[in-house]
Each structure stands twice: as structure tokens, then as C-alpha cells.
Amino acid sequence: MTKYLQIFKQTLLALLVGFCASFFSMPVMAQEKQTFQNPIFPGFYPDPSILRVGEDYYMIHSTFAYFPGVPIFHSKDLVNWKQIGNILDRPEQLNLDGHNVSEGIFAPTISYKDGIFYMVTTLIKNGGNFVVTASNPAGPWSNPHWLPNVNGIDPSLFHDEDGKSYIIYNADAPNNKPEYDGHRTLRMFEFDLRNFKTVGPQHLLVNGGVDFSKKPVWIEGPHIYKVNGFYYLMAAEGGTSVHHSEVILRSKNVAGPYEPYEKNPILTQRHLPNSRPNPVSGHRAR
């Protein structure tokens, strides 16, 4: 477990790019004798999901109740980005009737397998979770394939080396009976990419968080990666305010059991004093 941070250096770099884009302005070394300025994306670009395909990087963001939905950007270096389209750019793809500005599209994620790009996300009021596909990331993207068995938010696709794919997501507490406010779970189905359907039983990966005795809240935003024979499950924990964090667990089996890293969280600012200069603040307590 001591090699977690090294193994996830590239993944955390992607997360930090998005995190810094919202909050910081500071010079960072990109290459020898070169610098770049954060934020690389000033303004409204929440929940970044970054994908690498060959030498190309693609990044998408939440858009909540705004249309068109889910902008997609392209980069060769993670620093300089150009918008190449919107994934949800037609009314039949995105029904936002009745949504408040903080509802709509939550936490989209982008993945790639065998020449096809996949974007999976949650439409909060009008349909739930769905997946769209494209052979060209600039579009056009398909109409939604709805996922009625995936009940929750923050879905993510993982494509394993053996050809199988899985969908991981935030869901209700066991038996829909939370033991405290913010008690959630992470769950997973095998996923049939051809027919856009879940396969077999649902797997409970994490109940509550990395340490249930501490009543962890809002385990969400899950992603699975496979490195050197281990499956690494990374997720957010602690809500969207000042206690927000990233945690990581691993297993030899994609369905678990997952063992938490003993030095979790791997990314947070909640231990820093409130009196520090330029603190990062949160907008709500969840």
C-alpha cells in the first residue's frame, strides 16, 4: 500500500489540474525552462474528467441545468486546451425542463474502448443515469441510453484488460436505511457495452467510506484503475465543503473486497488552519 501515491501520480495530476483551475493562481513547472499559469480554466468548469488516448487528452465537465451540456476539450500537454464541441448539444439528448440551476447534469466521466468514446453521467430529475457514445470525440454523440438499474449518481465506466466493462456509482445505504446523515455506498455492475445493459448481480464495494466507525459522509465520484495486478478504487469523501477529500482503496479482485490505504485521505485541505492566507472555502455543508 506504500506505493499508492507513485502509482496514481498521473491520475492525481489530472485531478489537481481541475482542482487548481477552480481555486488557485500560481506558477508551476511544466517542463524545463517553461512555466504555466493556473488557473488553466478560469471560471465555471466543475467536476473535470480527463481521458488520455494515445498522445491526446480530453476533458469534460459538469454543466448542471445549462444547455448545451458537457463541453469537451482537447489538449496535447494538459496545459493548453481547445474546446472541440459539446457532448449534449441537441434537445433530444438533454431535457432540462423543471430543473433548478444546481440540478441537471452531475459529474460526467469519459472513457474509451476499441475505437469508441463513452460518456456516462446523471440527469438528476428527468431520467437518471445514462451513457452516450461517439467514434469522434468532437461529435456527433448518440442519444442517451438510459440505465434504469443504476440508481444513484456519479457513474463511471471501467474497461478491464479481459474485455469486460463495469459501471461504478454512488448509491443508497444498504436496504435504503442510512445509519446517519450522509451515509452512502459505492456499488458496481458488470456492463454490456453493446446493449448498454447491466449484467449479473450488483456488487457492494464500499459501505459508508474508508472507516465506517467514523461515520464518513458522501462517498462519491468513484473511479477504478488497474495497475500491476491491483484494482484501485478512488473516490471523494466528506462532502463538497471544507471537509472534502480524495480516498483510495485497492483489491486483487474487481468486485472486492477493497482495502483502504492506511494514510487516507490522499488529497485534502481540511487539516489546514482556517486562519491561513487565501483559504479554500466551501459553499455548503454537504
Q: Tell me which residues are annotated as active site.
A: 47, 220
Question: Position of cell 487539516?
Answer: 271
Q: Is the peptide bond before 137 cis (omega within 30 degrees of 0)?
A: no
Point out which residues pair with 64 in neighbouring strands. Answer: 105
Do the strands 81-88 and 69-75 form a parallel or antiparallel pair, or are they unpaired?
antiparallel
Q: What is the length of the chain?
A: 286
> Which of these, 65, 64, 87, 62, lies nearest to 74 by C-alpha position?
87
For the chain, give percent helix, strand, coil, nearest 5.
10, 40, 50
Q: Is the peptide bond before 68 cis (omega within 30 degrees of 0)?
A: yes
Phi-psi region of 128 (alpha: psi -120 to 50; beta: other; left: phi over 0): left
Point out which residues pair with 251 in neighbouring strands. Answer: 231
> In whole angstroms, what separates CA 137 from the centre of its chain?
18
Measured between alpha carbons, how far is residue 64 from residues 12, 69, 108, 130, 186 in Å? 24, 8, 10, 15, 22
Point out which residues pair with 166 in neighbouring strands. Answer: 158, 190
Structural element, H or E, at residue 1: none
Burial of residue 144 (number of CB atoms within 10 Å: 0-12, 13-18, 19+): buried
